[in-house]
Amino acid sequence: MHQVHAQLRTWMEQAGMSVSIDAAGNLRGRYAGIAPAPPLYIGSHLDTVPHAGAFDGVLGVVLGIALVECLEQRRLKFPIEVLGFSDEEGARFGTAFLGSRALAGSLDPATLETCDADGVSIAEAIRAFGLDPAGIPEARAGEAAGYLEFHIEQGPLLESLGGPLAAVEKIVGQSRLEFVFEGHANHAGTTPLQFRRDALAAAAEWIVAVEAEPAMAPVGLVATVGRFEVAPGAANVIPATARASLDVRHPDDDVRHEAVRRLSDGARQIAARRSLSVSVRPQMDQPAVAMDPGWTEKLEHSITAAGFRAHRMSSGAGHDAMILAPQMPAAMLFLRSPGGISHHPDETVLPEDVAAALAVGLRFLEEL
């Protein structure tokens, strides 16, 4: 991340921005306006997930810098601040949106004590990076004109519609939880089936139920077990512990919460029937968030004014925009994802779609 900051700092300064890094590790490039005024924030995140692609998040930051570069030192009535958020994915600590929550003022001290798999807390990681977590309150945004985020769609809809861009109307709500099934390790060769307390078998039964849940729920629900660990992990030992993640998303928060309740109750029932125990630890409960209607309309108008067909859609992925939208007007522009592929090394974007997004961004600045 230090290397990423160094490269982006160079590009920001070449575009005429003053650059800083706040206590939450957010890279911030400020392009002054003609007179003092609340800033327009343009940003996305710099972190990614294991074995991912090169465009999720980072493209939005680079597009923000390119947009300022296209102004060719022309100053607007308001300043622009390009943001490279430090941790949106939550891959290391299990809790997401650390950078944007700091900007929104919603990163509470208790969250900073959350630890990674090695027992390192967020606060300790910030110090190891060379920053002081005590300064996080100073990262909070003051009065703002609003927030604009460019991002790849990460799905197949735009490609199926044959269009390069879409204005995002709403970002779905998201729940993340950890389930730990606790049984008892024993010899795989000498323990009859009726005496086994197999944590892996219980977790496997539950995972099948997770897969079936969307078919029994309103359209749009998705539920995923993306991380799974077994202990002791030997071929000839009955598993004593099975640890699994759960990710549930839907545009309607009531639908999402009901699915989480059913899956949690189902895990407890499976564990009880198999004479095991299970613990459920909530990690994130992010409500669905609508983008600002007026700004979404401006963004849609900018798409058509730049010569492209406008689409509107919801986002099934979480984004920093959903953290900032309750604090300020927010708009989000999606770029087509070829093959609908994301969170994978084959993730890509078409150069002509990037050019289209840049043209729309310039139109949007004129709209403002």
Helical (H) or strand (E) element with 257: helix 253-273
What's the mean pLDDT when you consider all of the chain?
A: 96
- Cα distances from 334 to residues 50, 51, 144, 329, in angstroms, run 23, 22, 22, 17
Task: Output the six-digit token pair for 167.
Answer: 């204005």
Cα(223)–Cα(62) distance, integer angstroms: 32
Cα(270)–Cα(205) distance, integer angstroms: 8
Residues near 194 by Cβ (< 8 Å), separated by ≥ 6? none
Name the residue type at position 14. Q
Residue 138: strand, helix, or coil: helix
Is pLDDT at 205 greater than 90 in this prediction? yes
pLDDT tens, residue by residue, 314-348: 999 889 999 999 999 999 999 999 999 999 999 99
Is pLDDT at 200 greater than 90 in this prediction? yes
Name the residue type at position 65. I
Matching residue, tokens 């979480």: 318
For residues 169-186, give the mean pLDDT. 96
pLDDT for 9 equals: 98
Helix intervals (H) in 86-193: 98-104, 122-129, 157-161
293 neighbors 330 (Cβ within 8 angstroms) = no
Please give the domain boundaries of the chain with CATH numbers for all domains. 2-172+288-367 (3.40.630.10), 173-286 (3.30.70.360)
52 neighbors 347 (Cβ within 8 angstroms) = yes
Question: Does residue 282 have a cis peptide bond before it, meaning omega lies within 30 degrees of 0?
Answer: no
pLDDT band at 49, cuts 50/70/90?
A: very high
For residues 276-295, give the mean pLDDT. 95
pLDDT for 94 equals: 85
204 neighbors 281 (Cβ within 8 angstroms) = no
- Cα distances from 50 to residues 91, 218, 259, in angstroms, run 8, 31, 27
- Cα distances from 28 to residues 44, 102, 141, 148, in angstroms, run 11, 13, 12, 14
pLDDT for 95 equals: 87
pLDDT for 56 equals: 97
Beta bridge partners of 67: none
Count Cβ atoms below 10 Å from residue 287 Cβ, excluding itself. Answer: 13
For residues 181-188, give the mean pLDDT. 97
pLDDT tens, residue by residue, 68-126: 999 999 999 999 999 999 999 999 998 889 999 999 999 999 999 999 999 999 999 99
CA angle (48, 165, 287) in 5-degree steps: 55
Residue 339 CA to its chain's centroid (Å): 20
For residues 339-359, give the mean pLDDT. 97
Number of alpha helices (DSSP H) and beta strands (DSSP E) in the chain? 10, 14
Contacts made by residues 61-67, CB under 8 angstroms, sequence distance 24+: 61/8, 61/27, 62/8, 62/11, 63/150, 63/354, 63/357, 63/358, 63/361, 64/148, 64/150, 65/8, 65/11, 65/12, 65/15, 65/17, 65/29, 66/358, 67/42, 67/358, 67/361, 67/362, 67/365
Cα(315)–Cα(154) distance, integer angstroms: 9
pLDDT tens, residue by residue, 4-17: 999 999 999 999 99
Model pTM score: 0.83
- Cα distances from 314 to residues 220, 228, 233, 269, 344, in angstroms, run 11, 29, 41, 34, 22
Minimal CA–CA distance to 249: which of 241, 257, 238? Answer: 257
pLDDT tens, residue by residue, 224-236: 999 999 999 999 9
pLDDT band at 286, cuts 50/70/90?
A: confident
pLDDT for 284 equals: 87
209 neighbors 148 (Cβ within 8 angstroms) = no
Is pLDDT at 295 greater than 90 in this prediction? yes
